[in-house]
Amino acid sequence: MEHPGPPRFVAVGDAIELAPRDPDPTETYAWHLRAAPVDSTIELPDDEPVVEFAPDAPGTYELELDASDRRHRLTVRAFPGDLAPAGRGVGASGGSGLSGYQSGSARTSGESGGVSGSGSGTHSEGGGGGRPRLQLHGDVEGTELVVRADPQPHPDSDADRDDVVVEFLVDDRDDVDRDQIAIEGWELRIPTSVVGDRVRVHAVAVEESYSVPDTIEFARETVPDGGDAQGRMVTVPDASAEGQGSEASDADAASDGGHTAADPESATGDAPGDDAAGSDAFEVVRTNDPPAWSTDVTLYEIYVRGFAGPPEDQQADTVFAAIEERLDYLESLGVDCLWLTPVLQNDHAPHGYNITDFFSIAEDLGDREDYEQFVEAAHDHGMKVLFDLVMNHSARDHPFYQDAYRNPDSAYYDWYDWKDDGEPETYFEWEYIANWNFSNLAVRRHLLDAVDTWFEIADGFRCDMAWAVPDSFWRELRDRVKSRDRDFLLLDETIPYIADFHDGMFDMHFDTTLYFTLRQVGRGDEPASAILDAIDQRAEVGFPPHAAFMLYIENHDETRYVVECGDDAAMAAAGALVTLPGVPMLYGGQELGQRGRRDALAWDHAREAFHEHYERLLEVREEIPALGYDGDLKRVDYGTDSDRVVAFERSLDDEAYVCVLNFGESTATVTLDTVSVDPTDAITGESLATDEGLAVDDVAVFPVA
């Protein structure tokens, strides 16, 4: 599977990194330019396996990669430079020395972060206007595969939706006769008879700039006679695999991921199982949708070397066993997904992000068997487990680095990225790590093998410093894990978030904009209404409608919210986590009123008011589906005498609720001008009605009457 992956969309003036997948470092790879726009004079180095491709003219480029198994073709669509999403060049990931983003792994103690704003897609002096957004929908109609695009102009655009153009590209890896593909406007159709095992269709919407791409996959499956298609497959009469004009191979036949599929009742073909045994069917997959389970959980970050409490108080044989003893508590709290800080062998920095062995569990925590036992116990409690994946760097105590430092003859010298003075490249002058050189295929091979190792005993990866690793690596990693488990979650830590990271890389994103806004509101530096602006910014920077976001107010890198903003604001911020669209994440001890950022949790000194508050909030989120991932958010007109109060509506199907957050120190009276509510608060069960309006202490949820 050495093909470099899906077709790419880019603008003149931007660059993309291209690399062979599943590489063999002992093999030779060479890139060639097969076809280019007439105005292009670009040339590719023919002796480098990993190349930066920067188109110099708009149009379509056909590149070829000579690999050990075959010659692979890759299509790149280059738009004019004035269609480049504003900030896209700045937001590109993976180059050592970029300092525009802060990572969560080693920020200076005591800082709560000062970055605000967004990644690609905002208005700026250097590029086009706001990005449109796109979502694709697939179906099987009779003997045709159909892709329909749903483009939306940028929220601030004056353009008519009908003026948005959609461009489609069919994956170069797939076996399909391209001459038989019909495109009309926002719709693409392919006869099933010209498709092999599968076909993937990629597209972007183009207005003032181009959107984050989306993808639909049609995978041919065999439905046994009388078998159950499970609502995802559509039988196609007389379908055959006579496709031409592609280079699809058996190695590429696995699915890339996603989870949503077409309803067979909506198709005109025969029902699955009606034909003879072994009839062909297609599964329709939206590959960029997050796993269904991931949007319905409460995440909880465990700082592994402190969560269980002071070491001297521990009775368990290992740290994993000590954490396991707290699983009953976490289950009762309402937690159903755990993120553990890194558990691999490291340089003994307690946070664990400076790794010295990517294949071994840290000795002070236990061994692999202990870790597997913990994961199994978490599963028994109905919890998923995320593995903290650190791909950008190794510790300087890593044996490869120790051998390579100031030793150009070392077999590992080219594994690292070096500055001119012989010191390793890094970020923010961190002195204990060294950046990998991703142009070296041996590095990619080493890290992909580590991915394979820990994929087996995890339900997802929390990807550290995602912005500092090349896009091409993340795209390969995603295809690699999703081909084995579509429901495997990929969560990126990127500060600030980048909309393009939802293009075949990640399922869920740290909502960094909301995080910083909640800090500003909590300190009184911004009005509470800025929270709704932060939610709106997701669409404004170009995230597609299917992108998922993790909501948080603190983690192991940040000063505790209660320390920086006080008790009253902390109670309201807790309400924000469960009433705003997204997946709430709690950092261990947050629900206890813990004040130390990385201290051992003071279980015996937990603040009961905090614990009860969080426990009830999580119950309410579970009880009211409108507060969840699928619920809509709408602004409402409200009156109050404090700018520390915000009100908004959440709705799903026929149910709607007005949520009120009060970050102030005293009870706020709120009036609602355009919507009538039942004054009984869903959180406390008490009426909050007064003669003047609704009296809200920190958070309240009112059913719309």
Residues 607-642 have pLDDT tens digits of 999 999 999 999 999 999 999 999 999 999 999 999
Whether 464 is catalytic: yes
- The yes-or-no answer on residue 301 being catalytic is no
CA 30, distance to chain mean position in Å, is: 32
pLDDT band, very low/low/confident/very high, at 359 (cuts 50, 70, 90): very high
More confidently predicted of 47 and 320: 320
Place of tokens 């092999």: 196
pLDDT tens-digit series, residues 562-607: 999 999 999 999 999 999 999 999 999 999 999 999 999 999 999 9
pLDDT score recorded for residue 649: 98
> What is the identity of the amino acid at 421?
D
11: which 2 tokens?
A: 């603008």
The strand pairing partners of 680, in sequence order, are 687
Q: Which CATH fold would you assign to the domain 633-703? A: Immunoglobulin-like (2.60.40)
What pLDDT score does 245 carry?
42
Whether the CB-CB separation of 62 and 44 falls below 8 Å is answered with no
pLDDT at 87: 62
Coil, helix or strand at residue 639: strand
Smallest Cα–Cα separation from 286: which of 77, 545, 499?
Answer: 545
- 315-349 b/e with 16+ CB inside 10 Å = b? eeebbbbbbbebbeebeebbbbbbbbbbbbbbbeb
Strand 214-223 to strand 645-652: parallel, antiparallel, or no bridges (unpaired)?
unpaired
Percentage above 70 pLDDT, the chain: 85
The torsion angles phi and psi of 77, rounded to 5 degrees, stand at: -100, 120
Catalytic residue among 139, 171, 471, 493: 493
| pLDDT tens readout for residues 437-475 | 999 999 999 999 999 999 999 999 999 999 999 999 999
Task: Examine the pLDDT at 92 and tell me if it is beyond 70.
Answer: no
pTM: 0.90
Virtual CA dihedral for 601, 606, 609, 610, nearest 10 degrees? 0
pLDDT digits (tens, 9 = 90+) for 379-389: 999 999 999 99
Q: Spot the catalytic one: 464, 503, 540, 558.
A: 464
Q: What is the pLDDT of residue 88?
A: 53
User: What's residue 312's pLDDT?
Assistant: 82
Where exactly does CATH 2.60.40.10 map onto the chain?
A: 1-84
Q: Is 610 helix (H, G, I), strand (E, B) or coil?
A: helix
Number of residues in the chain:
705
Closest CA to 703 of 650, 663, 667: 650
Q: Distance between CA atoms of 513 and 550, rounded to whole angstroms?
A: 11
1-84: CATH superfamily: Immunoglobulins (2.60.40.10)
3-state secondary structure of 329: helix
**Lowest model confidence (mean pLDDT) among 176-180, 310-314, 325-329, 447-451:** 310-314
- How many angstroms from the chain centroid is the CA of residue 392? 17
d(CA 189, CA 82): 30
Considering Cα of 214, then 220, then 225, then 227, what sign does the dihedral take? negative
* pLDDT for 248: 43
What pLDDT, on a 0 to 100 scale, did the predictor assign at position 47? 86
Q: Write the CB contacts of 572 (distance below 8 Å, at least 6 apart in sequence).
A: 522, 661, 662, 663, 698, 699
Residue 517 and residue 266 in contact, taking contact as beta carbons nearer than 8 Å: no
Reduced to 3 states, what is the DSSP secondary structure of residue 266?
helix
Higher-pLDDT residue of 117, 494: 494
Select from 60, 37, 84 the least CA-distant residue to 178.
60
* Number of other CB atoms surrounding residue 584 within 10 Å: 25
DSSP per residue, 453-497? HHHTT-SEEEETTGGGS-HHHHHHHHHHHHTT-TT-EEEE--SS-
Distance of CA 694 to the CA centre of its chain: 38
Q: 87 Cβ partners below 8 Å, 6+ apart?
A: 118, 119, 120, 121, 122, 124, 126, 127
The whole-chain average pLDDT of the chain stands at 88
pLDDT value at residue 129: 55
What is the DSSP secondary-structure string of 137-175?
EEEEETTEEEEEEEEE--TT--S-GGG-EEEEEE-TTS-
